Amino acid sequence: MRIGILYGGSSPERDVSLNSGRAIIKACNDLGYQVLALDPRAGLEPLIPELKNIDLVFNGLHGGDGENGVVSGFLDNLGVKYTGSDKNSSILCIDKHASKDLVLKEEILTPDWISLSLDDKLIENNLKYPLVVKPNSEGSTIGLTIIKDPSKLTDAVNLARKFDKKILLESFIAGREITVTVIGDSAYPIIEIIPKHELYDYECKYIKGMTSYVCPAEIQKTLSSSIQSIALDIHNLLGCRHYSRVDFRLDKEGNPWFLEINTLPGMTETSLVPKSAATLGINFNSLIQKIIDEALKT
């Protein structure tokens, strides 16, 4: 079987995607597939001749067109099978406001937020601190700031708007940072993320030694099962398929607060999905095979 690996691209998360792609390419080679590496930095159109001769595309892109529905819609139009969520789900999940709104309607906890477009006026006296300011449609904490001082608000807003016309001002939930991997119809062991910085920022995510991970997280069994069930519900509610990663904050009372869902989570050696799978004895090659198997079912 011929597998094309989409990786790199032109989003702000290009470097992370390159690392994910290299790991996926190696795994697919180890698994005995014919592999074609595809970097759509110059756009998708030049890749059409290659894609027409491929049995499956493994989408290793992160952020931008790889995750916002453009690539999945393009592949659908070509009639090419691919890993990851389809166009409609991708559009919904990368839009933090829309996904949070839908989750909230299902009475799943998510931090209060204000969504601001370019023309919206910010009424500062309605805000409570600490506050998280972030782009509506970016990942990897790009453009995200936690602010405790109202004097820092303008700078945080301006930073977020460098990456998106629409931004969120979200209540900060004090507590533990946790994440749940979903593959197929199963939620995997919860990981607790303990960064050296106050924020699990880009540096902490992608530089070895900057973050400690506890998996399975030290959470009471009943609560852990409940959080996994919520993660699977969110995955299904938002129309995700094959795999995803659902991020939460766990407050001091043991309440999980949904932050966002990642439809194309990282696959680097420091990434969270492989860490969770490894807890169950699933090595990286087997994890990639599981995702491929899920994609071939659809």
Residues with a known catalytic role: 13, 140, 206, 245, 247, 260, 262, 266
Estimate the share of the chain in helix, then strand, then coil, as percent rounded to the nearest 5: 40, 20, 40
> Could you tell me the two tokens for 145?
């700031």
Closest CA to 8 of 46, 62, 44: 62
What does each C-alpha distance from 3 to 36, 73, 74 come to in angstroms?
A: 6, 18, 17
Query: CB of 171 within 8 A of CB of 128?
Result: yes
The CA-based dihedral angle spanning residues 67, 6, 11, 270, taken in that order and rounded to the nearest 10 degrees: 90
> Could you tell me the two tokens for 42?
């110059």
> Could you tell me the two tokens for 128?
């409570």
Query: Residue 195 pairs with which residues in a beta bridge?
Result: 211
Closest CA to 44 of 19, 30, 64: 64
CB 12: neighbour CB atoms within 10 A? 19
Rounded distance between C-alpha atoms, residue 170 and residue 156, angstroms? 12
